[in-house]
Structure 1
Amino acid sequence: MPWSWRKLLAIHPLVRNHFWHSLGNGQNTFAWHDTWATCCPIIDIVTHRMIKEAGFESHSKVVEIIENGSWRLPSFWDNRILNTNVPLLQEHMMDSIKWCTDAGVLHDFSVSLAWEDLRVREPLVDWYHILSCPLCSTQPDSHTHLFFDCPFSSRVWDEVNKIAGLSLYGGSWADVLHDLKKIARKNFVHSVVSKLILAGAVYNIWQERNNRLFNQSKRSEDKLIQIIVSTTRLKLMTLRFKNNSRTEAALSHWKLPSSLLIPT
């Protein structure tokens, strides 16, 4: 069995009750094993023999146990099932899977919601505030300080922006994302360089933080700047660009061959 499946099966009891099947036509939701009503999963209440004797299969779908707005279930089955309101199926609507929070609210699935419900919570330790940023040791460690206020990171941002002829560093995530939104869907060489520089700077600053914290290894600001710039240039070498004056200027700036230009 693949490693990924073993891991999924290992956490199945933990996440089982969080996956809620929102019924449409009931054709894609398993009647006994999926959670689609408060009495579910029904397999926790009935046995496989009871299912078989009632004329159903272990893989029967919800649509098969409802007829004309009523249950097609034996009258002697547990009242927790029989007293559940019969769902109103909608023939032309597909079933969907939602994430049911610990508070019982249904949402479209997201990793952040799952993390909030599943993570282990421990009391805040009284020494949390003394953990300083590994890059400068001057302030408590935080995302805002690490990427924008830290002197080490600030110099990295300033230098790579200067080398690339950009102005991405704005002092906050909101400033960076505001500038990036303007060019996110564009494929001009300037927008491509901006996205590569941003990704490279964030990745390498975060990696440097973790290396210092967990591996006790350090790289200088100049080394990080060199890595970000060289990685950006190598990535640009794999792309092709429309031939215009701005592109030619960019290729010259990055010392890239004219063969990257798409012939007109």
Structure 2
Amino acid sequence: MDVNSGSNTSFLFDSWSPLGSLIELTGERGTMDLGIPLNSTVERAIQLYRPKRHRVSILQLIDKEIGVLKNRGLNQQDDICLWKRENGDFKEGFSTAQTWNITRAQSPSVSWFKGVWFPGATPKFSFLIWIAIHNRLSTGDRILRWNPQAVSTCWLCKTAPETRDHLFFECAYSQEVWLKTIKNLAGNRRSCDWSSVVQVVVNGFHGRIVTFLLRYCFQAVAYALWHERNVRRVSEPSLPARCLVARLDKLVRNRITSLRRKKGGKYEKAMKVWFSRS
């Protein structure tokens, strides 16, 4: 707080001096030691305070700061709230981005973030891919670690052990769904190997629309396959691959339609690219 009148600044709780929040330094005991009520403003504290010979060093520092403020004097202007920036400076105006970066634990950017978090994505699809990237989905091979009696065979093809890489997209069922959904969208870079697909999705293409559509298809197909896998796991009716492909085609077209309504025309040509992928 940049103190002017002191009427809007808490003496103990706000950071109005280089010492920071005084309550964190003195505790509630400080109100008795200083002779200032807990909820006093800076203005009221200046009026009430009488200098004392404190033995505790922190109280001596507070006494000094009060003296500095008294000598400077208060005025009739409003107190100004200042917000910390990443460089350590305090300025007027709150910034969500700056505050987020200060309060969070920052880590180096991962190489695959563009394939997971991108404009126009569906959050629940992105979240599933984020888990899959870390290989934390409860696939058969992982379930075996805590339940040796569990069924670890792929629920989609019934022929191979279920792993993340098998499910996306080595499995015959998932491979058919994946390839028939993207068709020629990826050109000669079509692949069913998890690592290769992730690399293509992350690197993208020169065309912004094609890159978006491929990334969205990757996430939508993975989500649909994971849902279908879970449906079969609880013995509910399953879908043939062609029906799932038809659902995904409609889902992508609906997503394109919703994005085209946004201002700027960023996705105006997306539907044309989608229909021309075969």
Relative to its length, the structure with more strand (as a share) is 1
The structure that has the greater radius of gyration is 2
TM-score interval (norm. to shorter): 0.3 to 0.5
TM-score when normalising by structure 1: 0.47
Relative to its length, the structure with more helix (as a share) is 2
TM-score when normalising by structure 2: 0.45
